[in-house]
C-alpha cells in the first residue's frame, strides 16, 4: 500500500509483513556480542528519517529502577522528591509520570501519600509482577497504568525463561490481556531490545499488541528498554543496536504512534543521554529517566540531563523550574548522604568551577566567556573558580566575590590589597609541592585569619 505522509510530504510504502520467526536455537548475535571481547558496532548504512513528535516529555523511574541500586527510600524521602519532580516539571507536566513498586507496605504507603497530593503530573504508575492478582492490586490502589516485563531478546527468552519465541509471545499476550481485564493500561517493557531479533520477534510482537490495542480500545505503550546500554545513535548503524532503527521500526513497521513509544536507557557505554535524545528525534514522545541517573549498574539516563536536552531541542523550558535541579542535588547530598562526583554536569559541586588562572581572569571580565549558560539564573548556581597555584589574582578575587556573595560596588577588584594578601597565602601552600586545588573550607579559614572583615 502507498500512502502520502503529510509529515515528510512524500509517498511512502506502508505495507510490510513481519511474521514471528520461531527458531529452535537462540540468535545471540555472537559476531556483534562475542562476550569475551567488547561488543562490535556494525553498520549497514541504511538511514531512517528523523521524526520528532509534536510533543515530547519525560517519565521518571527513580522509585523503581532507581531503587534497585541503593538502599530503599523512606516514605518521607519519596514524598519530598515526588514534590520536587512536580515542581521541576512545571504546570505543563513535562515530567509526565513516576513509576513505583507495589511490593511492600512501604511502597504502598508511598504511593498513597503521593496520590493524596492530587497532582495531575507526574501521574503515579506502577511496576508489578505480571500476575492477575498484582494487576488487581494496582487497580484497587487507583493506579491506571502499570509496567509489564516482556523480555524480547533470545538471551532472555531462551536462557532465562526457557521458552521458544512462540511460547514467550503467547505468554506475554496472555499477561497483557489480564491487565486489560482488570482495567489497567499496560506499559510493555521490551527488555533487552538492543540484543533482540528486531524483525523476527520485536516487530511481530508489537503487531500483536497493536491488534490487541485496536480490539480493546485501550492504549498499550511500548517501552524500548536498552537494558545493557548497548544502543548507538550513529547514522547508518545496523540493528539490533541502532536507536534510530528501533524507534523508526516500531513506528513505521508496527504502526505505533509516537505518544505510545518510550525509551529507557542505561549508561553502560556512556551513551544514555545521547541515545535518549536520539529516541526523541526519531519519534518516541517519552524518555524514561531517574534522578541523578541512579539505577542498575552504571545507572539510567539522568533526568536532570534530559530537562536540559528538552530545553535545547525545544528552545524553551516550557515552564519547568530548572532551579529545582540544584535543590534535588543538595537534598541527595545533605539528607540522603549520597556523594555526587564534583564534576558531574549541572549537579556536581564544581561543574561550573574553573581552575585555570587565565580563565578566572576572563570570568572577572565577563562570565559568559567561560560559562556554559547563566547557571546562576537557571540552576541557582553562580559560576565559580577553584584556587590553586595557577589561579592568579583574578581567580582569588572571583572566589571571594562568589563565596561571600559580594555584588556590584561590594565586589573586590584583583588589584585590591586584600586580594594580594590572600594570593600570597595561596602561593605559600604550593611551595612545598602541593598539587591539589584548595578546598572551600581551607580558603574560608585562611580568610577568617587574614581578612576577618570579609567574614563579618
pLDDT at 17: 81
Q: 30 with 42: CB under 8 angstroms?
A: no
Q: Which residue has the higher pLDDT, 108 or 9?
A: 108
pLDDT at 51: 95
How many C-alpha atoms does 181 have within 13 Å on its Cβ side? 13
Reported as a single tens digit per residue, the pLDDT across 195-231 is 999 999 999 999 999 999 999 999 999 999 999 999 9
Q: With cut-offs at 50, 70 and 90, classify the pLDDT of residue 360.
A: low
Q: How far apart are CA 434 and CA 437, in angstroms?
A: 9
pLDDT at 438: 84
For residue 257, what is its C-alpha cell?
Answer: 504512534
What helix, strand, coil percent values describe the chain, rounded to 5?
A: 45, 15, 45
Q: Where are the domains of the chain?
A: 45-334, 353-455
Q: Cell 529507557: give the residue.
A: 264
Q: With cut-offs at 50, 70 and 90, classify the pLDDT of residue 357.
A: low
Reported as a single tens digit per residue, the pLDDT across 159-168 is 999 999 999 9
Q: Cell 507536566: give the residue.
A: 93
Q: How far apart are CA 384 and CA 76, in angstroms?
A: 33
For residue 16, what is its C-alpha cell?
Answer: 510490510
Report, as an integer, the average pLDDT of 399-426.
88
Q: How far apart are CA 197 and CA 216, in angstroms?
A: 27
Partners of 261 in the β-ladder: 222
Sequence-separated (6 or more) residues with CB below 8 Å from residue 44: 236, 237, 238
Q: 208 with 170: CB under 8 angstroms?
A: no
Reported as a single tens digit per residue, the pLDDT across 113-158 is 999 999 999 999 999 887 788 888 899 999 999 999 999 999 999 9
Report, as an integer, the average pLDDT of 241-254.
97
pLDDT at 19: 94
Within 10 angstroms of residue 280's Cβ, the number of other Cβ atoms is 25
Q: What is the DSSP string of 439-455?
A: PHHHHHHHHHHH-GGGG
pLDDT at 358: 56
DSSP class of 95: E
Reported as a single tens digit per residue, the pLDDT across 174-193 is 999 999 999 999 999 999 99
Architecture of the 45-334 domain: Alpha-Beta Barrel (3.20)
Report, as an integer, the average pLDDT of 246-253.
96
Amino acid at each position: 500500500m502507498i500512502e502520502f505522509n503529510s509529515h515528510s510530504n512524500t509517498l511512502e510504502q506502508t505495507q510490510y509483513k513481519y511474521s514471528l520467526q520461531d527458531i529452535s536455537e537462540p540468535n545471540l548475535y555472537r559476531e556483534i556480542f562475542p562476550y569475551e571481547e567488547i561488543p562490535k558496532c556494525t553498520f549497514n548504512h541504511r538511514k531512517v528519517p528523523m521524526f520528532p513528535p509534536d510533543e515530547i516529555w519525560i517519565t521518571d523511574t527513580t522509585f523503581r529502577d532507581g531503587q534497585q541500586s541503593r538502599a530503599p527510600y523512606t516514605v518521607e524521602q519519596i514524598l519530598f522528591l515526588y514534590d520536587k519532580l512536580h515542581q521541576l516539571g512545571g504546570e505543563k507536566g513535562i515530567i509526565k509520570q513516576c513509576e513505583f513498586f507495589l511490593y511492600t507496605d512501604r511502597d504502598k504507603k508511598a504511593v498513597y501519600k503521593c496520590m493524596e497530593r492530587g497532582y495531575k503530573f507526574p501521574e503515579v504508575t506502577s511496576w508489578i509482577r505480571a500476575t492477575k492478582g498484582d494487576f488487581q492490586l494496582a487497580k484497587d490502589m487507583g493506579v491506571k497504568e502499570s509496567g509489564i516485563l516482556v523480555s524480547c531478546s533470545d538471551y532472555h527468552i531462551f536462557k532465562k525463561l526457557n521458552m521458544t519465541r512462540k511460547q514467550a509471545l503467547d505468554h506475554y499476550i496472555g499477561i497483557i490481556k489480564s491487565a486489560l481485564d482488570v482495567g489497567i493500561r499496560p506499559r510493555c517493557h521490551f527488555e533487552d531490545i538492543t540484543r533482540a531479533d528486531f524483525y523476527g520477534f520485536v516487530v511481530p510482537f508489537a503487531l500483536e499488541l497493536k491488534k490487541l490495542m485496536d480490539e480493546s480500545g485501550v492504549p498499550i505503550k511500548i517501552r524500548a528498554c536498552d537494558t545493557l546500554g548497548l544502543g548507538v545513535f550513529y547514522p547508518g548503524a545496523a540493528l539490533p543496536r541502532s536507536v534510530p532503527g528501533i524507534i523508526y521500526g516500531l513506528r513505521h513497521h508496527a504502526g505505533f504512534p509516537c505518544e505510545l513509544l518510550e525509551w529507557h536507557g542505561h549508561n553502560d557505554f556512556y551513551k544514555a543521554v545521547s541515545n535518549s535524545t536520539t529516541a526523541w528525534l526519531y519519534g518516541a514522545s517519552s524518555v524514561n529517566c531517574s534522578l541523578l541517573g541512579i539505577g542498575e549498574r552504571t545507572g539510567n539516563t539522568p533526568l536532570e540531563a534530559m530537562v536540559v536536552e528538552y530545553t535545547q531541542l525545544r528552545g524553551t523550558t516550557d515552564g519547568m523550574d530548572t532551579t529545582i535541579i540544584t535543590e534535588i542535588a543538595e537534598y541527595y547530598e545533605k539528607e540522603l548522604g549520597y556523594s555526587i562526583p564534583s564534576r558531574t554536569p549541572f549537579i556536581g559541586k564544581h561543574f561550573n568551577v574553573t581552575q585555570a588562572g587565565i580563565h578566572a581572569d576572563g570570568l572577572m571580565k565577563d562570565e559568559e566567556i567561560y560559562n556554559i549558560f547563566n547557571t546562576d539564573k537557571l540552576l541557582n548556581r553562580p559560576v565559580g573558580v577553584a584556587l590553586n597555584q595557577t589561579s592568579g589574582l583574578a581567580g582569588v578575587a572571583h572566589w571571594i566575590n562568589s563565596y561571600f556573595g559580594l555584588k556590584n560596588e561590594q565586589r573586590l577588584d584583583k588589584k585590591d590589597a586584600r586580594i594580594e594578601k590572600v594570593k600570597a597565602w595561596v602561593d605559600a601552600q604550593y611551595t612545598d609541592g602541593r598539587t591539589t586545588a584548595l578546598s572551600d573550607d581551607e580558603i574560608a579559614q585562611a580568610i577568617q585569619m587574614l581578612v576577618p572583615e570579609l567574614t563579618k
